[in-house]
A and B are shown apart, each in its own frame.
Chain A
Amino acid sequence: MTTAASLANARLLQLESHALWLLPEAAAWHVGSRTLFVADLHLGKSATFRARGLPVPAGTTQDNLRRLATMAADHAAERIVFLGDLLHSRHAQHASAIEPLRAWRAAHPALHRVLVRGNHDAHAGDPPRALGFEVVDEPWCVGGADGLLACHHPQRLAGSTVLAGHWHPAVVLRGPARDVQRLACFCVVDGLVVLPAFGAFTGSSPLAPPIGSTCYPVGGGRVWPAIRTVV
């Protein structure tokens, strides 16, 4: 069950027809359909690097899945929707990325896993069938949440609210005594909610979010109040 404690540091985003919790784990939670949304895991990115002669230590895939599993358990989620770029490249089809996914599937067989294909998935190929993903193209209507569309590429679709990834959005906060801090953020701009990247080895965009969007910075275990960008 979703406990009050697990949402203490989250923030409720009231959309036209739905309420969406923005979680400090860099995910979104839709209570009505018991669905978690995460974007841009880029699993197997470190394996891709290693295969091409760049020594990135292993451990990021395990870490990603551990965080997912904890979050799914905390909220008693019934479905997880991956908003694209689940696998980084073809190399992610190798054992080091796929094995942990298989173990995760075995541990939580009832969880409904949906992957909305992103640009990286197009090249990496779909995950093996045995992993039990429902693989779909964007936009995908979220069952049990009318008017909510899951995409990878941020876009606007009339009459609907779009959840997307791809940008890896981040915002720079400035404060007293010239303090500066860059934080990943949720980015909301009419009818579109862009999630921060969930992956542990992904980085964030050096560009500021679009003008007129509202950002919810994530850091220090909390989702912070809205910050609106202007010119």
Chain B
Amino acid sequence: MAARPVSGAAVQRWIAARGWKAFAFQREVWRAMKEGRSGLLHANTGTGKTLATWLGALQALSVEAAPVRARAKPQGPPLSVLWITPMRALAADTTRALREPMAELAPGWTIGVRSGDTTSGERSAQDKRLPTVLVTTPESLTLQLARADARETLAHVQLVVVDEWHELLGNKRGVQVQLALARLRQRRPGLMCWALSATLGNLDDALAALVGAPVHDAPAPALVRGDVAKTIVVDTLLPERAERFSWGGHMGLRMLPQVLQAIEDSGTTLVFTNTRSQSERWYQALLDARPDWAGIVALHHGSLAREVREWVEAGLKGGTLRAVVCTSSLDLGVDFLPVDRVLQIGSAKGIARLLQRAGRSGHAPGRPSRVTLVPTHSLELVEAAAARHAVQAGQVESRQSPHEPLDVLVQHLVTIALGGGFVPGDLLAEVRSTTAYRHLSDGNWQWALDFVRQGGPSLASYPDFQRVAPDEHGTWRVPDARLARRHRVNIGTIVSDASISVQYLQGGPLGSVEESFVARMKPGDCFLFGGRLLELVRIHQMTAHVKKAASGSGAVPRWNGGRMPLSNTLADAVLRELDAAHRGVFDSPEMQCVRPLLQIQRTWSALPTPATLVAETWKSREGWHLFLYPFAGRQVHLGLASLLAWRAAQPEQATFSIAINDYGLELLSAREIAWPKRLPTLLATPEQPGALLAEVLASLNATELSRRRFREIARIAGLIFQSHPGERQSNRQLQASAGLYFDVFQKYDPGNRLLAQAESELLSQELDVQLLAAALGRMRAQQLRVVALARPSPLAFPLMVERFREKLTNEALSDRIARMVADLEGRAGGNAVGTAHEDATTVFAQGSMPDAIEIDRDSHLPTRRATRRARRTSAARS
């Protein structure tokens, strides 16, 4: 027996009872859903997207009744709706929002959450029977697909809603969702898929990626725009004087007094930072300045334990918190009605992100949203003015789906092999129905199959290897239970360093930090985490046991998150502001404030504008510097810097240290390059179309970029995996770094396509050749001005102090080592430290090791990591 959908009249009554009125776009969604159409709903944050879709679903779905079993408890209908949210923090709120109308309109249904935060008790209950509506993350959905009984448990799913689709579309998590949707559609051709999205420049692409290849006689998908007027205010906290600012890479704490005042003047405030470390520092600074705010100012980031995050979220909703310092962990959806004001510390990097964060305040129809920018260096004042102009002009970034990442495909093959197995021909058609893999070649497909079956196309290279294998019926499955377990705990495309759980000696978990951070610490060392100063007591089974530190200062953990590039939309807007400044127009408070600094730039060097390309040269103690300001964003600058360095290193070999930021690039070399003479030729665009690509590839081989890119690929493709808290050490003998994999592949299996993927991801994501060609073209049209600096200019300084640098070299290793050794000897003043053996040069050791080590004979297999721990403990004892 099938339960009938909820009637339109009942929904109207439910809405009317709350004194609400349905918007036109909401009705449009309901109509489309009743017709069984999939679609994309695009509307500003806080305009009722969730409710629109949910009420539409209730009116459209006829759920199948649960089979009635004798003596069984009455049960809700089987799993019918999957609601996918990109963040764990959203799941609980979404569930609450869905439950309310459901309780009244579809009382027989059940609802539950499945995410990384779900407790083991709930998990095992769900494993017996899933609720009618499951709110889950992309990773947990893929885990469901990896269950041996996936075919049965997911058989009744009629609707999938993907919340915040714009957050997923442009990355590998989105590809994971595309593959999962293709899987569900293949099981049930009439499956409805809806996506909710805010602020995006390319809605048609977003819709196409959601619904996949058009299916014969399926109703056309709908694109619904909820044009509800929303006022967005963008303003800036101005420093007293722009020159007195720190220069980039800083935490921005100089603005603390203004931020304190802003919090004081407003109701509940969200203080967004760009990194977790920055949020820790800001939280501490606020409390140091205002001890009376303890308990009403809170900290929220993704590495904090669930209990901590939930406490903060509840406090926000209850209106008991004055301010929360947070990261992107609070970017999305959660309905924090009481938020009055949003502060953004540092650059928001893009217009879409700025709008998203602005939408956290006044998160209800009809109320204005306000975001206040807090610059961490002077040039962010220009960015702030530029951002406001871009918002006013309605310029928003587009996001594209990644193009057939083979690492995600390899992971998916193993997932499906676990989830009931697959027949290659059928699965290929399914995979090709996604936007990401619509052009997947037979060759790449065959390679992916070979990779999971025998390691690579040639059986000889990988003796004894097997992950997935066809059974006697030709269905590919994972025969080894250990491999299956390892795959399940490592599903996902979010790559972070191995993390270590942080826990009080007596008491609960506080969250997690990266293992590499803890590895540098000795017991007794202090660090700042979760807004507390903690002392490391010991590390045991992937858990760092800590206690409260008495007082003093401690290191702030760094998490290895990716650095967001400034979007091209925003970079272009910045260049337009500088052009106005060049013409003497300073028409906003921000530009007025930064005016003295821009004048220094103009006097010492020149201002970059859309018509002028500025290059600066300088000789320092470090070597010879070139600074160039194309304002094309980090990605293009990285490609451009590699290309320029590569071209400059011909015919005479050279080594360059490369720094980039969103405004420009720096090349630093040990010998002088005649930049003024050479730059015009070095910036040329080759005549033949393929020539630029060939040059970029050649320059790549001289850098370590592919090697670095490979880290993420190795993790997603299951080459390296994380250990988990409490896990026995038995996996240790299987740990190798991605770099080591990269090296052995290059040497012993150079045809491995994961290497090719590292290269092609670099070419498409990090140094897009098309964008690079466009940038070169644009620079050609600009007038080049090369200025020899007497001292670093305001634009040069942030590049000079940038610590994250790339290296490009085509010199022989021995030549470079010889130069470094000679330099060390020179610095030792020719009077090198004598040893018993011969003259020695002095370097600074980064860490310490005791004289001899004790080996932990009890552990399963003491490897270098165990040894390191032994060294640390004996250091503490001595």
Q: Residues of A at under 8 Å CB distance from B? A: 13-14, 46-60, 63, 88-89, 94, 96, 119-120, 123, 153-156, 166-168, 171-181, 183, 188-190, 192, 200-203, 205-211, 214, 217, 219-222, 224-231
Pull 14 A–B residue pairs with CB atoms less than 8 Å apart, ordered by A.
Answer: A52-B483, A94-B464, A153-B852, A156-B851, A171-B843, A176-B823, A179-B807, A190-B836, A201-B744, A202-B740, A207-B871, A225-B821, A227-B821, A230-B842
A175 touches B839 (CB 8 A): no
B807 touches A180 (CB 8 A): yes
Q: In the assembled complex, how far is the CB of residue A141 from the closest CB belonging to chain B, in whole angstroms?
A: 19
- Cα A201 to Cα B737 with chains together (Å): 10
> Residues of A contacting B739 with CB < 8 Å?
203
- Cα A149 to Cα B505 with chains together (Å): 43
Q: Which residue of B lies closest to A16 (CB)?
A: B836
A177 touches B670 (CB 8 A): yes
A46 touches B846 (CB 8 A): no
- Cα A53 to Cα B453 with chains together (Å): 10
Q: In the assembled complex, how far is the CB of residue A184 from the closest CB belonging to chain B, in whole angstroms?
A: 12
B844 touches A203 (CB 8 A): no
A50 touches B817 (CB 8 A): no
> Residues of A contacting B840 with CB < 8 Å?
214, 225-228
A229 touches B749 (CB 8 A): no
A201 touches B736 (CB 8 A): yes
CB 8 Å contact bits of B837-854 with A (1 = contact, 0 = none): 111111111111111110
Given A51-B464, A96-B463, A225-B821, the answer on whether A209 and B845 have CB atoms closer than 8 Å is yes
Q: Which residue of A lies closest to B854 (CB)?
A: A153
Q: Which residue of B lies closest to A62 (CB)?
A: B748
> Residues of A contacting B486 with CB < 8 Å?
53
The number of chain B residues with a CB under 8 A from chain A is: 83
Would you list which residues of chain B between 648 and 678 have a CB under 8 Å from chain A?
655-657, 668-670
- Cα A156 to Cα B867 with chains together (Å): 17
Of the candidates B670, B843, B844, B848, the one whose C-beta lies within 8 Å of that of A176 is B670
Q: In the assembled complex, how far is the CB of residue B753 from the closest CB belonging to chain A, in whole angstroms?
A: 12
A53 touches B850 (CB 8 A): no
Of the candidates A201, A209, A226, the one whose C-beta lies within 8 Å of that of B839 is A226
> Residues of B contacting A155 with CB < 8 Å?
852
The verdict on B346 contacting chain A, using a C-beta distance below 8 Å, is no
Given A175-B819, A205-B864, A230-B844, the answer on whether A57 and B835 have CB atoms closer than 8 Å is no
The verdict on B467 contacting chain A, using a C-beta distance below 8 Å, is yes
- Cα A195 to Cα B508 with chains together (Å): 44
B849 touches A88 (CB 8 A): no
> Residues of B contacting A221 with CB < 8 Å?
814
Q: In the assembled complex, how far is the CB of residue B69 from the closest CB belonging to chain A, in whole angstroms?
A: 40
A47 touches B463 (CB 8 A): yes
B812 touches A57 (CB 8 A): no
Of the candidates B748, B839, B863, the one whose C-beta lies within 8 Å of that of A225 is B839
Q: In the assembled complex, how far is the CB of residue B545 from the closest CB belonging to chain A, in whole angstroms?
A: 22
B845 touches A47 (CB 8 A): no
B814 touches A222 (CB 8 A): yes
A175 touches B824 (CB 8 A): yes
Q: In the assembled complex, how far is the CB of residue B463 from the closest CB belonging to chain A, in whole angstroms?
A: 5
- Cα A202 to Cα B842 with chains together (Å): 27
CB 8 Å contact bits of B728-754 with A (1 = contact, 0 = none): 000001101101110011011100100
> Residues of A contacting B841 with CB < 8 Å?
225-228
- Cα A167 to Cα B807 with chains together (Å): 28
The verdict on B466 contacting chain A, using a C-beta distance below 8 Å, is yes
A60 touches B744 (CB 8 A): yes
- Cα A49 to Cα B714 with chains together (Å): 14
- Cα A166 to Cα B865 with chains together (Å): 11
A46 touches B813 (CB 8 A): no
**Which of A54, A55, A176, A210 lies at the interface centre, i.e. has the most chain B CB atoms within 10 A of its CB?**
A55
**Which of B655, B739, B864 lies at the interface centre, i.e. has the most chain A CB atoms within 10 A of its CB?**
B864
> Residues of A contacting B734 with CB < 8 Å?
48-49, 52, 54
B464 touches A96 (CB 8 A): yes
Would you list which residues of chain B between 776 and 807 have a CB under 8 Å from chain A?
805, 807
B844 touches A177 (CB 8 A): no
Q: Which residue of B lies closest to A172 (CB)?
A: B846
Given A60-B748, A179-B655, the answer on whether A173 and B740 have CB atoms closer than 8 Å is no
The verdict on B311 contacting chain A, using a C-beta distance below 8 Å, is no
B669 touches A177 (CB 8 A): yes
A231 touches B814 (CB 8 A): no
Q: Which residue of B lies closest to A197 (CB)?
A: B864
Q: In the assembled complex, how far is the CB of residue B797 from the closest CB belonging to chain A, in whole angstroms?
A: 16
B846 touches A210 (CB 8 A): no
Given A50-B462, A203-B736, the answer on whether A189 and B467 have CB atoms closer than 8 Å is no
Q: In the assembled complex, how far is the CB of residue A40 from the closest CB belonging to chain B, in whole angstroms?
A: 10
Q: In the assembled complex, how far is the CB of residue B675 from the closest CB belonging to chain A, in whole angstroms?
A: 15
- Cα A184 to Cα B121 with chains together (Å): 49
Given A54-B719, A207-B849, the answer on whether A181 and B837 have CB atoms closer than 8 Å is no
Q: In the assembled complex, how far is the CB of residue B844 from the closest CB belonging to chain A, in whole angstroms?
A: 6
- Cα A222 to Cα B752 with chains together (Å): 31
> Residues of B contacting A56 with CB < 8 Å?
462, 736, 741, 744
Of the candidates B807, B820, B853, the one whose C-beta lies within 8 Å of that of A153 is B853
Of the candidates B824, B853, B861, B871, the one whose C-beta lies within 8 Å of that of A123 is B861
**Which of A13, A168, A207, A222 lies at the interface centre, i.e. has the most chain B CB atoms within 10 A of its CB?**
A207
A228 touches B843 (CB 8 A): yes
A58 touches B461 (CB 8 A): yes
> Residues of B contacting A176 with CB < 8 Å?
622-623, 670, 819-820, 823
The verdict on B519 contacting chain A, using a C-beta distance below 8 Å, is yes
B817 touches A183 (CB 8 A): yes
- Cα A173 to Cα B464 with chains together (Å): 40
**Which of A177, A208, A231 lies at the interface centre, i.e. has the most chain B CB atoms within 10 A of its CB?**
A177
B855 touches A119 (CB 8 A): yes
CB 8 Å contact bits of B848-878 with A (1 = contact, 0 = none): 1111110100000111100110010000000
Would you list which residues of chain B between 583 and 617 have a CB under 8 Å from chain A?
none
Given A172-B846, A177-B622, the answer on whether A120 and B462 have CB atoms closer than 8 Å is no
User: Lowest 9 A-B CB distances belong to which pairs?
Assistant: A220-B814, A175-B820, A55-B455, A177-B623, A226-B840, A210-B849, A220-B813, A59-B748, A57-B748
B850 touches A201 (CB 8 A): no
> Residues of B contacting A214 with CB < 8 Å?
835, 837, 840
B823 touches A175 (CB 8 A): yes
> Residues of A contacting B489 with CB < 8 Å?
none
> Residues of A contacting B463 with CB < 8 Å?
47, 50, 58, 96
The verdict on B22 contacting chain A, using a C-beta distance below 8 Å, is no
- Cα A54 to Cα B466 with chains together (Å): 8
- Cα A123 to Cα B464 with chains together (Å): 21
A58 touches B462 (CB 8 A): yes
B455 touches A57 (CB 8 A): yes
> Residues of A contacting B72 with CB < 8 Å?
none
Of the candidates A49, A51, A57, A153, the one whose C-beta lies within 8 Å of that of B749 is A57
A211 touches B817 (CB 8 A): no
Given A220-B813, A230-B845, the answer on whether A50 and B464 have CB atoms closer than 8 Å is yes
Given A14-B837, A53-B466, A53-B483, the answer on whether A119 and B862 have CB atoms closer than 8 Å is yes
Apart from the given pairs A177-B655, A226-B838, A230-B843, 19 other A-B contacts in the complex at a CB distance below 8 Å: A48-B733, A50-B463, A50-B464, A57-B744, A59-B461, A63-B748, A167-B867, A174-B820, A176-B623, A176-B670, A177-B624, A177-B656, A177-B669, A190-B836, A201-B740, A208-B848, A214-B840, A225-B841, A229-B844
> Residues of B contacting A13 with CB < 8 Å?
837
> Residues of A contacting B820 with CB < 8 Å?
173-176, 179, 181
- Cα A120 to Cα B733 with chains together (Å): 9
> Residues of B contacting A205 with CB < 8 Å?
864, 868
- Cα A229 to Cα B840 with chains together (Å): 10
Q: In the assembled complex, how far is the CB of residue A210 from the closest CB belonging to chain B, in whole angstroms?
A: 4
Q: Which residue of A lies closest to B754 (CB)?
A: A55
- Cα A192 to Cα B849 with chains together (Å): 14
- Cα A56 to Cα B754 with chains together (Å): 12
Q: In the assembled complex, how far is the CB of residue A44 from the closest CB belonging to chain B, in whole angstroms?
A: 11
Q: In the assembled complex, how far is the CB of residue A66 from the closest CB belonging to chain B, in whole angstroms?
A: 13
Q: Which residue of A lies closest to B852 (CB)?
A: A155
Q: In the assembled complex, how far is the CB of residue A169 from the closest CB belonging to chain B, in whole angstroms?
A: 10
